[in-house]
Structure 1
Amino acid sequence: MTLGTDYFDAMYGRSPDPWGFTTRWYERRKYEVGLAALPRPRYAEGFEAGCSIGVLTERLAERCDRLLACDTSASAVEQARRRAPRARVELRTLPRDWPDGRFDLIVLSEVLYYFDDHDLAEVVERVLGSLQPGGTLLAVHWRHPVAEYPQTGDDVHDALARTPLNRLVGHVEADFRCDVFVRGEAVSVAAAEGLV
């Protein structure tokens, strides 16, 4: 069963930063890996699903002309709004409240394993319907099993790999996976800049 808002409200009720996003080197390094994997320096319209307290949101806002971020926890949204004032941060419960519009960047960082099979399939369909031609999907997830999560990080990345999107970057470590998928031909950064 998909983890609901109550689960996240309880987490933020115990700590304003329950996963240590602001304090752990692991988290800072993971963000750097994900940001470095993005094939373009700038995006026009970005969407970050499940932004939590906005640590990654703040960094993504530097790379997007417009960035919409969302979370299901009001406490997380409040923190993210303060941390990332250049982003539009909204209270949304996915997949039900998936935003209208098209994006050239969609970020799914540490969020997909909270969905059951049905909701995961719906989120993937929403991504496919929202990602512009030539757009980038960044997915980053913890690989170790967590008892209460309906999926593992590997499960959700495997589901993304079965879509019509093309993988441009695949980074796998013992702790996390970082994949970049594109809608269209997977052209390397060097090729895009005419170096090869």
Structure 2
Amino acid sequence: MEQLTSRAAHFDAQFARGTDPWRYHTSWYEARKRALTLAALPRALYRRAFEPGCASGELSAALAPRCGQLLCADFAPRAVEIARSRLASFAHVQVERRAMPADWPAARFDLIVVSEIAYYLGEAGCAEMATLAATALEADGTLLCCHWRHGGEAWMVDSTRVHDIFAHQALRASLHRVVHAEDADFLLDVWSADPLSVARRERAC
């Protein structure tokens, strides 16, 4: 309960500063990271995607054209309000208020994007989310994980530890790591049920 209260206070304070507290819309760093995230996805199109921790919906807006359906979720009421406004033009995108990992949806997805959220959940919550994500994938699914490397609040989990936890659960679910990138500022990993590279998959068709 104390950790949940800390999380709520943290996000309330962030969104009290404005509608884009992390400068997702204006920062070149964020635009670059978003482009690399999208480029790391091994498939051009996905049927049904889930993005927990969508914040103001900037990454969601970039994902939307590549998804038949996209479910976005965030813990902060203000984030949900902003994201709904940002994504209103996409009829196939749904934004819900959900606390992770307790409110993980009872559905399966062929894309799950865990970006800048898992380190807020504590080690136990991060491990639970990693398990839920790995097991909620369709047989041809993709799991992407991306996190800032330079820390934050004292109660947050280190990003390297977050990605180690996800890698462990992905291995247990027989997923293959198809992308691993260590930028100076963030870690980016992609796991897939299909071990073939993009080029090899295209040549096999």
What range describes the TM-score normalised by the shorter chain of this pair?
A: over 0.9
Match of 1:5 in 2: 8
**Cα 1:147/1:74, change in 2 over 3 Å:** closer
Match of 1:65 in 2: 68
Match of 1:191 in 2: 200
**Number of equivalenced pairs:** 195
TM-score (norm 2): 0.90
Which structure shows the higher helix fraction? 2
Match of 1:38 in 2: 41
Superposition pairs of residues 51-90 of structure 1, within 5 angstroms: 51-85=54-88, 86=90, 87-90=93-96
Stretches of structure 1 lacking an aligned partner (at least 5 in a row): none
Q: Cα RMSD (Å) of the superposition?
A: 1.5
Deviations 1:43-84 (A, max 9, x none): 000000100000000011111000000001111111111111
Superposition pairs of residues 126-165 of structure 1, within 5 angstroms: 126-163=132-169, 164=171, 165=175
AA in 1 matched with 2:106: D
Task: State the alpha-carbon separation in 2 of the partners of residues 149 and 31 from structure 1.
Answer: 26
- Is 1:118 matched with 2:124? yes
Task: State the alpha-carbon separation in 2 of the partners of residues 136 and 195 from structure 1.
Answer: 19
Task: State the alpha-carbon separation in 1 of the partners of residues 138 and 14 from structure 2.
Answer: 34
Match of 2:183 in 1: 173
Q: Give aligned-pair identity as a percent.
A: 43
Offset at residue 15 of structure 1 (A): 2.1
Task: State the alpha-carbon separation in 1 of the partners of residues 105 and 181 from structure 2.
Answer: 28
AA in 2 matched with 1:90: E
TM-score (norm 1): 0.94
AA in 2 matched with 1:126: L
